Structure 1
């Protein structure tokens, strides 16, 4: 099981942080985090429910991590293992995560697929998302997987969709001509785009597109 204790800096002040696997005792706080990250008009029935969370800790506890700041639960990241074929990238979030229930978790899969990452708004300037992503890279290495993968929303795309194709928008973000709150964050985490998927989520801001973002295990020869 994963547990790492260290400090982050809130301006000039060191703050103690713990990254660990979440458990049933954390479920109420994890649902509260979802409510803060996705407030109304986002539908509350799309926040985590306890059946989903039970599946996360029961089917793949290594892929269910959270982060505490000064003893307060501040965020979470969830993944599952899948078998991924780079020649057939098209899928939806619902298909590949079984609507977040991860009943399709494949212990023999070669890819750790990110289901969700959430950080409470008041803690977002501390770099907690990047720290949790790096913790998942440790899981990829320990389990000798080929890659970490996930679909990145492109919430800035709707502003230019009338004049720019999604792959052109992604290229502009990669070259620094544009900034996107999600894609730019994933780039800073070390993720690399490998393609665009259509109809990934019902997501007006991204026009239902997502960038498939990969981190390859540097110790895997494949």
Structure 2
């Protein structure tokens, strides 16, 4: 269907070196995560989303079990010198660009991904998290690149996900979310999440109002995609 082959890539495992701010190389591995990683993945969530972020919104083992059972190719983690440092999770969905409205909870099944569609033409990002200790190594960009590779291997049309407008609260009293996005794209505003995604090659599709409960973004997000260059646009 529409550029989706339904083929399944093998489990990912690639090793390379990243470099710390002092220039020292760090042996790094991106691979598919498994049950033995669950405790460490939950630890990373606690480090990325400390209180007052509610603990019940961190990954739980039922969600993680679903990730590796329903769509293991979209369950990626990164190790640095043998220690788990981050993760990225996706699922496949059918997405109609003419009707982009949805919430994070709706499209990800609140992170349980029981709505994963093996024939979905869109690889949708559920979450990306990198432990603060490792955020100067470029791991988020490496994880994103790896998920682009999964998108290509699957023959999916696009990678898509909602980026929090994490800096919007600073200007919310004087501009709309759409105006804020325009300012970010013009380089007059920098947003920690949106600017990162732009640097990873993602492009905006639409502003999603009420996407998730988040005070910093005033519940807004920007749907941002990466198109598979090997699948022609219809």
**Category of TM-score, reference length = shorter chain:** over 0.9
**In structure 2, what is the Cα distance between the partners aligned to 1:20 and 1:40?**
29
Among candidates 136, 140, 146, match of residue 135 of structure 1: 146
What's 2:7 paired with?
none
What's 1:27 paired with?
38
**In structure 1, what is the Cα distance between the partners aligned to 2:53 and 2:221?**
19
**In structure 2, what is the Cα distance between the partners aligned to 1:78 and 1:24?**
14
Q: Offset at 1:14?
A: 1.0
Among candidates 157, 175, 198, match of residue 209 of structure 2: 198
What's 2:67 paired with?
56
Q: RMSD of the alignment, in Å?
A: 0.5
Q: Offset at 1:110?
A: 0.2
**In structure 2, what is the Cα distance between the partners aligned to 1:130 and 1:210?**
19
Residue deviations 1:47-68 (CA, integer Å, cap 9, x gap): 0000000000000000000000
Q: Does the alignment pair 1:3 with 2:13?
A: yes
Uncovered stretches (5+) of structure 1, i.e. residues with no partner: none
**In structure 2, what is the Cα distance between the partners aligned to 1:194 and 1:48?**
27
Residue deviations 1:151-198 (CA, integer Å, cap 9, x gap): 000011111111101111001111110000000000011000111011
**In structure 2, what is the Cα distance between the partners aligned to 1:32 and 1:159?**
30
Where does structure 1 differ by over 2 angstroms across 4 or more consecutive aligned residues?
Answer: none
| TM-score, length of structure 1 as denominator length | 0.99
Uncovered stretches (5+) of structure 2, i.e. residues with no partner: 1-10
Other structure's SS at 1:151 match: strand
Q: Offset at 1:112?
A: 0.3
**In structure 2, what is the Cα distance between the partners aligned to 1:89 and 1:104?**
17
What's 2:133 paired with?
122
Q: Does the alignment pair 1:110 with 2:126?
A: no
Point out which structure has higher relative CO (alpha carbons under 8 A, 6+ apart).
2
